[in-house]
Structure 1
Amino acid sequence: MSLALEIARIVLPLIVVGGIGVFVILRMKYKSKQGTLGKKQSKSAQNVLDSLIPFGMIVGCAIAVLINLFTSIPLLSTLTWGPGIGFLLGYVAYEIYSKMDESHSQ
């Protein structure tokens, strides 16, 4: 029984984060084919838009390391969950920011 729990604890983060990755990539591919992928007119606003997803992953990784310092959660597990959740939150921020008007985004 403990072997099955250990295997589940190892594989579950990979499955969930992999599902998040596949969801975000397929969603962006669909939006690209439809022509509704977020575009901004100014170069600086487009740079901010393009950097939201990687920034979300970096922040997620940093938060995962901080969580690991203060809890007993294994580092490898937090390093799986952190960037994966950051990837999803970065995509959500990308969607929100791409729908904002140019006057609100500066």
Structure 2
Amino acid sequence: MGFVMAIVPVLIAGGVAVFVIGRLKHKYNQGNLGRKKSKGAQVLLDSFIPMGMLLGCTVGIILGMFFSISLLSTVSLGASIGYLAGYFAYEIYSKEKTVGDG
């Protein structure tokens, strides 16, 4: 049982990473990766995925302190869920029109 609990977070994080990287690669190859015209909007767009990972790690640390789950598991699962949430935020924001985008 301990072996399974050690492998599950790695499999989930790996699956999320493969999904996100595969989707971004597909969008890049098609030429429709999200781009904004203003520099500030582009910086915000590019920071969604790393900020999602940081927020996920923070939530994982907080949950690891209050529940009897391994801190390493909660941090890795939090980072992978944050990575996925950051990707979805990236997708949503890249489709929205902002001031300066024609």
TM-score range, shorter chain: over 0.9
The answer as to 2:75 corresponding to 1:47 is no
How far does residue 68 in structure 1 lie from its aligned partner after superposition? 1.1
Letter matched to residue 41 of structure 2: A
TM-score in terms of structure 2 length: 0.94
TM-score in terms of structure 1 length: 0.91
2: CA distance, partners of 1:41 / 1:26: 25
Structure 2: gaps (5+ residues): none
How far does residue 83 in structure 1 lie from its aligned partner after superposition? 0.3
Q: Which residue of 2 aligns with 1:96?
A: 92
Q: Which residue of 1 aligns with 2:69?
A: 73
| Residue of structure 2 aligned with 1:24, choices 10, 20, 26 | 20
How far does residue 98 in structure 1 lie from its aligned partner after superposition? 0.2
Structure 1: gaps (5+ residues): none
Percent identical: 48
Deviations 1:48-75 (A, max 9, x none): 0000000000000011111111111110
Query: Which moved further from structure 2: 44-53 or 5-14?
Result: 5-14
Q: Which residue of 2 aligns with 1:7?
A: 3
How far does residue 7 in structure 1 lie from its aligned partner after superposition? 1.1
